Amino acid sequence: MLIKKSDDILPSEITDKNAYLNRRQFLKEAGLYAAVASAGGLLLPVSSEAAVTHNENGIYKDIATGPYTVDEKLTSYKDVTSYNNFYEFGTQKGAPRFRAAEFKTRPWKITVEGECEKPGMYDLEDFLKTDWMEERIYRFRCVEAWSMVVPWIGFELNKMLKQFQPNSKAKYVEFETLYDPKQMPGQERAILDWPYTEGLRIDEAMHPLTIMVVGLYGDILPNQNGAPLRLMVPWKYGFKSIKSIAKIRFTEKAPVSSWMKSAPSEYGFYSNVNPNVAHPRWSQARERRLGEDGFFSRKRKTLMFNGYGEQVASLYSGMDLSKHF
């Protein structure tokens, strides 16, 4: 597969002019949102086109589409960027878009620890390599039974992890979101055990479907979607795809994620999309595709491994998936 190389300028070196120009609009809307929210109603339309259109000439517009692409209707940019579970910026789906507007994503350091030859502090810029970048159009299935189809921009996680030279004891990879309550107001309350933590088995992490995301819709990744760097594991429930990653740790033992700590009987380590294993409180057999399954269509059937069984089912052969949920 060919990856087009647009130029020698690193994406990170370009100022996102559109975001800059929209700054005042963001602030204005953040004010409006706060006013409406405090009025208690949340009934007035808070959406506005201005802040939810991407730059058609986004910094990743020339990145070629990679393999595993799904041939399904894309969820609109507006929906992808205004309906977010990102509890660090509020537990209401519409909140992160406003409350993360001022989140500082540069400079961004990633701490690498544990069972590897090259631990240390890395700069985000070390990984924004033009020849790594691909567009991947993936299904995204939330544990809350809604789904999207998103054109992510990113690179295979294995390319990044190999640079740290994990040793033979590295059986798992643990990820942590930035912990900074000053910037992430949601962390001021113990909604979850902060910092948000997730983990993958090393073979899951090295799988070519697993990517690190830095953009979407050919543009830079919006803060509410987990800027500047987030995971995307398309065959697992959305909460596994941790946002705003600040730490990567190679471990011998399976990491315990924030959701596992919060409700061990409800969220397991694997959390593979599985229509046959219900969440203890609701069914996972069907899902609502945002922008498509609305008032006049039934929820669609959820696919095993979110439709990526051909690629990943072998990772779990011989395992009882109702036990290892």
Partner 1 sequence: MEQKTISLLKGVVFVVCLIPAILLFYNAFTDNLGANPVEEITLETGTWALRFLVLTLAITPLRKIFGWSILIRFRRMLGLYVFFYACLHFLAFIWFDHFFELDEMIKDVIKRPFITMGFISFVMLMPLAMTSTNKMMKRLGGKRWQQLHRLVYVIPFFVVIHYLWKLKADFLMVGIYTLVFSVLLLWRLWYRYSNR
Q: Catalog residues that contact partner 1 under the rule CB under 8 A.
A: 41-47, 75, 78-79, 82-83, 87, 91, 93-94, 144, 146, 189, 191-192, 262-263, 281-283, 288, 290-291, 294-295, 298-299
Phi-psi region of 141 (alpha: psi -120 to 50; beta: other; left: phi over 0): beta
By C-beta, is 10 or 263 nearer to partner 1?
Answer: 263
Residue 25 has what DSSP assignment? H
Given CA atoms 312, 315, 316, 317 in this order, what sign does their dihedral have?
positive
In angstroms, what is the minimal distance from the CB of 79 to partner 1? 4
In angstroms, what is the minimal distance from the CB of 289 to partner 1? 10
In angstroms, what is the minimal distance from the CB of 318 to partner 1? 29
By C-beta, is 94 or 154 nearer to partner 1?
Answer: 94
In angstroms, what is the minimal distance from the CB of 253 to partner 1? 25
By C-beta, is 1 or 301 nearer to partner 1?
Answer: 301
H-helix or E-strand containing 203? Answer: helix 202-206
By C-beta, is 285 or 303 nearer to partner 1?
Answer: 285
In angstroms, what is the minimal distance from the CB of 168 to partner 1? 37
- DSSP β-ladder status, 146-156 and 211-216: antiparallel
Cα–Cα distance, 88 to 230 (Å, whole number): 14
End-to-end CA distance of the chain: 34
Angle at 246 between CA 201 and CA 147, to 5 degrees: 60
In angstroms, what is the minimal distance from the CB of 76 to partner 1? 8
* Assigned token pair, 37: 């929210």
By C-beta, is 125 or 144 nearer to partner 1?
Answer: 144
Residue 268's contacts (CB-CB under 8 Å, 6 or more residues apart) are 260, 324, 325
Cα–Cα distance, 157 to 207 (Å, whole number): 8
By C-beta, is 41 or 318 nearer to partner 1?
Answer: 41
- DSSP β-ladder status, 300-301 and 286-289: antiparallel
In angstroms, what is the minimal distance from the CB of 109 to partner 1? 28
By C-beta, is 76 or 251 nearer to partner 1?
Answer: 76
In angstroms, what is the minimal distance from the CB of 27 to partner 1? 21
By C-beta, is 91 or 311 nearer to partner 1?
Answer: 91
Report in angstroms the alpha-carbon separations of 1 from 17, 64, 67, 87, 206. Answer: 31, 9, 8, 37, 19
Residue 236 has what DSSP assignment? B
In angstroms, what is the minimal distance from the CB of 186 to partner 1? 9
By C-beta, is 46 or 303 nearer to partner 1?
Answer: 46
Cα–Cα distance, 302 to 193 (Å, whole number): 30
Report in angstroms the alpha-carbon separations of 256 from 33, 110, 156, 205, 296. Answer: 35, 20, 23, 16, 40
